[in-house]
Amino acid sequence: MRLLRRLFTPACMFAALLCAATAAHAEKLTLMAGGTSKIVYLPLVLASQLGYFKDEGLEFEILSQPAGVDTATELLAGAIQGAVGFYDHTIDLQSRGKEVEALVVFNKSAGLVELVSKKSASGLRTMADAKGATLGVTGLGSSTYFLTRYLAARAGLSPKDYAVLPVGSDDSFIAAMEQGRIDAGMVEEPSASHLLATGRAKVLVDMRSVEGTTSALGGAYAGSCFYAERTWVNTHRDQAQKLARALVRALAYMASHSAEDVTAKLPPDFYGRDKALYISALKAAIPTFTVDGRMPDGAPAAVLNVLTHVNSTLDPRHIDLSRTYTNEFVDRVKPGSK
């Protein structure tokens, strides 16, 4: 197994220290997340750290990109077999004739927060005040882009009323806000807590909890998940089942252990110098994760509603939500299975 984090500082590249023996003749799988250090994608890294992929006899490597849209692109290009990103990509891709499906749903909240910089906070108190502002997203076509557009539309703004700037995530997002290149922006944990702790940002719209997501988006939601192309799933059902089992085990571990216990299993560069801050953010996030990897009831329709509001070319009548996810593999995972 190899775990790589692309586009981070050299100190964060801990892959070489995480090599492990794998089963002979196993087919190597390449998985990718839109930022492995983001808490919303933690089950992927945790499954690796706890040896759950190894238990399944899987030979694999994990790669990282700063935005989920980059991960989806790599999946369609055939460079990776599985992607960890937001569920909305499965719907967006189907609208463009590409068939992918979520096999394991990680998060039942959006897991995102719209922050406003300290410099802009006095004049930007709600999304309705964002007229003339520059709003940061991880990438164009990313989940942060979709949800930024949706929140602005709900506040009565048109896309012409504000500018959207792709700034990546983690350190690059923090730098963009600190340097004043964006007035506000949408980001995940732990980056959000770092900005809030330093006083450089304030919360504008908080979707890090299930309640906050419901309030902002009007209903149930599915955030991060593991997804793959349907053709790959149909021809690699054994591997798909093994991946699902390992990821559901990671979700069960998170549900049954404290944030301190989970953090202890992670590489030190995930939480950096402020371990207490990371643990605090993780403690708040753990209740938003599913326990069994199943799609929350009503969530696909809610995500489709968001996308149809921000993409005029997406016709909901042409979307078959039943083909964007499946509970088949997670339903086969027995509680406490190893």
- Same domain? For 232 and 186 the reply is no
Mean pLDDT of 295-311: 94
Residue 54 inside a domain? The answer is yes
- Same domain? For 241 and 180 the reply is no
Do 324 and 87 touch, CB atoms closer than 8 A? yes
Mean pLDDT of 19-25: 39
Q: Which of 160, 175, 207 is the last residue of a domain?
A: 207
- Locate tokens 């993409």: which residue? 311
- Same domain? For 145 and 233 the reply is no
pLDDT confidence of residue 12: 37
Q: Which of 162, 178, 207 is the last residue of a domain?
A: 207
**What's the one-letter identity of residue 252?**
A
- Same domain? For 182 and 124 the reply is yes
CB-hemisphere CA count at 13 Å for 105? 29
Structural domains counted in the chain: 2
pLDDT confidence of residue 219: 84
154: domain CATH number is 3.40.190.10
- Same domain? For 229 and 86 the reply is yes
Residue 34 inside a domain? The answer is yes
The closest alpha carbon to 228, from 121, 97, 326, 110, belongs to 326
Mean pLDDT of 196-221: 94
Residue 280 inside a domain? The answer is no
- Same domain? For 294 and 148 the reply is no
Higher-pLDDT residue of 280 and 313 is: 280
CA-based radius of gyration for the chain: 19
Mean pLDDT of 178-188: 96
Residue 239: is its pLDDT beyond 90? yes
- Same domain? For 75 and 160 the reply is no
pLDDT tens, residue by residue, 47-93: 999 999 999 999 989 988 766 567 788 888 888 999 999 999 999 99
Dist CA 107 CA 189 (whole Å): 13
Residue 268: is its pLDDT beyond 50? yes
Confidence of residue 246 (pLDDT cuts 50, 70, 90): very high
- Same domain? For 53 and 82 the reply is yes
Confidence of residue 221 (pLDDT cuts 50, 70, 90): very high
% of residues, the chain, pLDDT over 70: 90
Residue 277 inside a domain? The answer is no
pLDDT tens, residue by residue, 98-141: 999 999 999 999 999 999 999 999 999 999 999 999 999 998 88
- Same domain? For 91 and 167 the reply is no
- Same domain? For 124 and 142 the reply is yes
The partner residues of 112 in beta bridges, in order of sequence, read: 207
Residue 7: is its pLDDT beyond 60? no
pLDDT confidence of residue 198: 92
Q: How far is CA 42 from CA 50, 142, 222, 285, 293, in A?
A: 12, 19, 15, 10, 13
Residue 214 inside a domain? The answer is no
Residue 22: is its pLDDT beyond 80? no
Rounded to the nearest 10 degrees, how much is the dihedral formed by the CA atoms of 254, 258, 264, 265? -10
Residue 3: is its pLDDT beyond 70? no
Residue 135 inside a domain? The answer is yes
Dist CA 181 CA 88 (whole Å): 27
Record the tokens describing residue 93, joined without a space.
């891709």
- Same domain? For 49 and 33 the reply is yes
Dist CA 143 CA 322 (whole Å): 20
Residue 338: is its pLDDT beyond 90? no
pLDDT confidence of residue 174: 93
Name the DSSP class of 264. H
Residue 281 inside a domain? The answer is no
Residues 191, 109, 247: CA angle, nearest 5 degrees: 85
Helices 143-154 and 88-95 meet at what angle, rounded to 10? 90
pLDDT tens, residue by residue, 284-298: 999 999 999 999 999
- Same domain? For 226 and 315 the reply is yes
- Locate tokens 């999304």: which residue? 127
Residue 28 inside a domain? The answer is yes
Higher-pLDDT residue of 148 and 6 is: 148
Mean pLDDT of 217-245: 95
pLDDT confidence of residue 1: 44
- Residue 126: burial class (beta carbons within 10 Å; 0-12, 13-18, 19+): exposed
Rounded to the nearest 10 degrees, how much is the dihedral formed by the CA atoms of 212, 115, 284, 39? 110
Residue 78: which domain range?
2-109+222-271+289-331
Residue 299: is its pLDDT beyond 80? yes
**Non-local CB neighbours of 74 within 8 Å, separated by 6+ positions:** 32, 63, 65, 80, 83
Q: What is the mean pLDDT of the chain?
A: 89
Rounded to the nearest 10 degrees, how much is the dihedral formed by the CA atoms of 306, 308, 314, 315? 130
Residue 298: left (phi > 0), alpha (psi -120 to 50), or beta? left
Residue 14: is its pLDDT beyond 50? no
